[in-house]
Amino acid sequence: MVVAHFVKRELETLFVHRFSADTMPIAYVFRNSGHYWVLSGLLFGFVVYGPAFSHVKRTQSDLIVALIAYAFAELSNLGTHMTLRQLRSAGSRKKHIPRGYGFDWPFGGISFPNYFFEFLVWVVIAVWSGCWGVIPFLVVATYMMDNWAQKVILVPELIERH
């Protein structure tokens, strides 16, 4: 699940995301890579692949439920990224208000459903693996996603209803 998640993220970066010049300063690339390599790669990997880690016994039903929940979260995350892609044409800085799956439900919607579904992916991985090493990664990732969400500034003259 972890490898599939990161492969999906790389493919999204290459083929789905449209970055504006101020969206991802180069310094963030190193910070984000450190976050993924240290907290996900080393900490989670060390715990899961370490000799002291004893995997919890799982049934086939547990596997099916985990894979369905994981697929739901990953596909929902991808769907929201596709919606966001359609809001801005290549080279444009004009922003639109997103509508649709994740943005309009439940009870009026989720402000940043791509981050919500990303969070769900890691909750599924944490529960399925039974590994405490996912917790520090999830805490830092949630903090970073919240910061990114808080920094989104909607300039009225740049917004068009979509």
What percent of the chain is predicted at pLDDT more than 70?
A: 80
Helix, strand, coil distribution of the chain in percent, nearest 5: 65, 5, 35
pLDDT at position 71 is 98
The DSSP-derived string for 49-115 is HSTT--PPP--HHHHHHHHHHHHHHHHHHHHHHHHHHHTS-TT---EEE--STTTSTTTT--SSHHH
pLDDT tens digits, one per residue of 101-125: 888 876 667 778 888 999 999 999 9
Q: Which residue has the higher pLDDT, 61 or 90?
A: 61
Kindly tell me if the per-residue pLDDT of 156 is higher than 50. no
Q: Which two three-digit tokens encode residue 14? A: 């290459």
Q: Which residue has the higher pLDDT, 78 or 23?
A: 78
pLDDT tens digits, one per residue of 39-85: 788 888 888 777 777 666 788 999 999 999 999 999 999 999 998 88
